[in-house]
Structure 1
Amino acid sequence: MKYSLLAGALVAACFATPTLAHDVRADDHAPIGVMADHAHKKGEFMFSVRHMHMEMSGNQIGTNNISPEDIVTSIPNRFAAMPGQPPTLRIVPTEMRTDMTMVGAMYAPTDWITLLAMGNYVEKEMEHTTFAHAAGTHIQGTFSTNPKGLGDITLGGIFPIFGVADRKGEDQHELNVRAAVSIPTGSTTKTAKILTPMGMEPTIRIPYMMQSGSGTWDLKPSVTYKSWHGAIGMGSQYSGTIRTGTNDQGYRFGDVHELTTWVSYRPAQWISLSGRVMGRSTGKVQGIDPMIMGPVQTANPDFQGGERVDIIGGINLVGTHGPLAGHRLGIEVGAPVYQDLNGPQMAGDWMLTIGWQKAF
């Protein structure tokens, strides 16, 4: 509700008078889901808040769907040799929701570097179906896990290669690079109560993808190119997350490589519409946490990562004068059109990003 009210206020402010008091355009910034796309002039600050909501459902192996019944009757349990472990998987995740709120700040001490810091708070919820210990498809029951907490913190800098922070002409090109590091402030030891195939309800360490942190110091480079031709804007960005070392639990997440390209159209100074394609490749978990085990796919490091392509539509709004001058609101909604997963693994459904930005 608060985002829709802000959007309405921005629209009202932009139409209140024909005189524009600030030389800002809605497409000066990339779509809201693209991070580190711009630098600032010496002495400028910028603050931002983004909220991302993502949903997953169903399971895939590669590009093919697989039902919970097929998983529990055909997929071996990696931990079958351990006491009390069944020969096949018997717990299947069926739905997952992730909410992440990110708070960021930028400051340019000089024209050639913009310092950045970003922290986040993550809440995840996963629904599971537990099948009885014996072979077959008899359902023992269902349960959910709902970990939440602070994630890892990112610190770094953005270096403009060419172009300027404020676009004066109608046609311009801009290139910048980001050098950043992710500090392992998020937890890798969260626990939750589960339902086992034997009907017990122990509290155990939750699997890898449900933790809020990586446990490793990660490099986060990116390169962003943007151009404008009248009312048409275009851009591309490569960004990566490169894991270093192994965390205290004995593993590290797979590297992430992401490439996104977008086109935007600005029908008026205060509004820009965008379409974006994003491809992502995520590696498997390397190593294993000895406290994470069980007849569930999420406990197997090999059933992590894969490739996916998303199509995303968005809108950017900016206040051009009055009390909302310079305030930006961005919204993006997207869904995957291709997924090739190291499965069985849950498949993505859709995602929403809403964000606010303001430079001073």
Structure 2
Amino acid sequence: MRIRIFLMTAGLMACTTINTAQACEICNQSESQTNEMHFKASSHAPIGVMGDHRHKAGEWMLSYRFKHMEMAGNRDGTDDLSVADVLTYANPNPGPANLRVVPTKMGMDMHMFGAMYAPTDWLTLMAMGMYMDKDMDHITYNMPATAELGRFTTRAKGWGDTSFTGLVRLYEDGTHKLHLNAGVSVPTGSIKEEDEVLTPMNTRTTLRLPYAMQLGTGTYDALPGVTYSGHDEKWIWGAQYSARIPLEDENDQGYAWGNKHSVSAWAGYEWAPWISTSARLTGTRQGKIKGSDSQIAAPVQTADPENYGGRALDLGLGVNLLGTRGALKGQRVAFEIEAPLYRDLNGPQLETDWTATVGWQYAF
């Protein structure tokens, strides 16, 4: 039923935007200004923003992004937690009454491969696939929590979910652009990843990894959003709302990730046509996981669906570089690093230390 509602809504939006496109022929009056911006480093948002721009009819763009995220230390709400603090939390799964395995660090690498094509000036289509590599370090304690038994690392890697998005022009003039983001995420990532763990009984066994270590959501997800951007001779600015909303109540393992909503705003300055720098603020809110996977039942915080989601605010600083002549014309290289300003987590959870994204884009 939710998929049917989503498809009907997308159809209505498409019909509306066709009329909007016909009514916005005035946009052609600013075509020369738009083309001029197209060949500036500042014509794109920071590399960490997805679906930020459209293309001219018949134009393609290929992209690759590498994103690395480091997480360390635990938090509940806005309070930092020690390992001893985490061991006092109740274990909702079979086994000891309290948690006995504590995550201390997590790293995640994401390789994102994208393609964009514009069949018309008012519509750009985008597809993105992702290869992920995750690892998480843990400490295991004995049943009474009086002694550390050892440390271990779990790892999961493989293809994640795949997304398909349409970027539909709503308004455009020589200074301002506004478009609709309407997409869907297809559950191509595994949600049955396993690895060897050290148990509180001082034995090693292979178990299904917690939700954070899986490679996909297991559900079809709607990816709605809206993006605004503006520019003058040297300055650029923009904002984007985006969301990830499951279209199914649960996946085939019995759970669904909580709704995720993000708002991002950025500003940048063009030092020369080939280089610009940017600053970006991103606020995110995500709900807890609904339901549970009966195979994820270890005495560790990441095995509890309640310990997911929360609120976050991040600051990103970036640089965009553009090739303007010869074989490099139209090729972009960009970098952005993000750090947390605020965290209010449904804990206990590992908290993000920093995130870095580097990307390459080529339009033709």
TM-score calculated relative to the size of structure 1: 0.89
Equivalent position to 2:169, from 140, 147, 160:
160
- 1:23–1:223 CA distance, 2 compared to 1 (3 A): closer
Q: Are 1:300 and 2:304 matched, yes or no?
A: yes
The answer to whether the 8 Å contact 1:222/1:240 transfers is yes
Equivalent position to 1:33, from 39, 44, 48:
48
Which residue is equivalent to 2:288? 284
Which residue is equivalent to 2:76? 61
Which residue is equivalent to 1:100? 110
Q: Are 1:254 and 2:268 matched, yes or no?
A: no
The answer to whether the 8 Å contact 2:37/2:43 transfers is no
**4+ aligned runs moved over 3 Å, structure 1:** none
Equivalent position to 2:136, from 123, 126, 148:
126
In 1: Cα distance, 2:363 partner to 2:170 partner = 21
The 3-state SS of whatever aligns with 1:257 is strand
Instruction: Render the CA deviation track for 1:272-301: whole Å, top value 9, x for unaligned.
Output: 000000111111000010000011000000
Q: Are 1:77 and 2:86 matched, yes or no?
A: no
Amino acid at match of 2:85: D
Equivalent position to 2:268, from 264, 274, 285:
264
Instruction: Render the CA deviation track for 1:31-85: whole Å, top value 9, x for unaligned.
Output: 100000111111111100001000000000100001111211x201102xx3xx1
Q: Are 1:139 and 2:142 matched, yes or no?
A: no
In 2: Cα distance, 1:234 partner to 1:131 partner = 50
The 3-state SS of whatever aligns with 1:298 is helix
Unaligned runs of at least 5 residues, structure 1:
1-20
Shift of 1:265: 0.4
The 3-state SS of whatever aligns with 1:241 is strand
Instruction: Render the CA deviation track for 1:83-108: whole Å, top value 9, x for unaligned.
Output: xx111000000000000000000111
Amino acid at match of 1:140: L
The answer to whether the 8 Å contact 1:22/1:321 transfers is no
What CA RMSD, in Å, does the superposition of the two structures yield over aligned residues? 1.2
The answer to whether the 8 Å contact 1:22/1:326 transfers is no
In 2: Cα distance, 1:91 partner to 1:150 partner = 28
The answer to whether the 8 Å contact 1:22/1:320 transfers is no
In 2: Cα distance, 1:301 partner to 1:23 partner = 45
The 3-state SS of whatever aligns with 1:98 is strand
In 2: Cα distance, 1:132 partner to 1:70 partner = 16
The answer to whether the 8 Å contact 1:145/1:192 transfers is yes
Shift of 1:23: 6.1
Shift of 1:22: 10
Equivalent position to 2:58, from 43, 52, 63:
43
Identity level (%): 48
In 1: Cα distance, 2:209 partner to 2:67 partner = 22
Equivalent position to 1:235, from 235, 238, 261:
238
In 1: Cα distance, 2:316 partner to 2:145 partner = 42
Q: Are 1:225 and 2:225 matched, yes or no?
A: no
Equivalent position to 2:39, from 7, 21, 24:
24
In 2: Cα distance, 1:153 partner to 1:196 partner = 34
Shift of 1:244: 1.6
Q: Are 1:111 and 2:125 matched, yes or no?
A: no
The answer to whether the 8 Å contact 1:207/1:298 transfers is yes
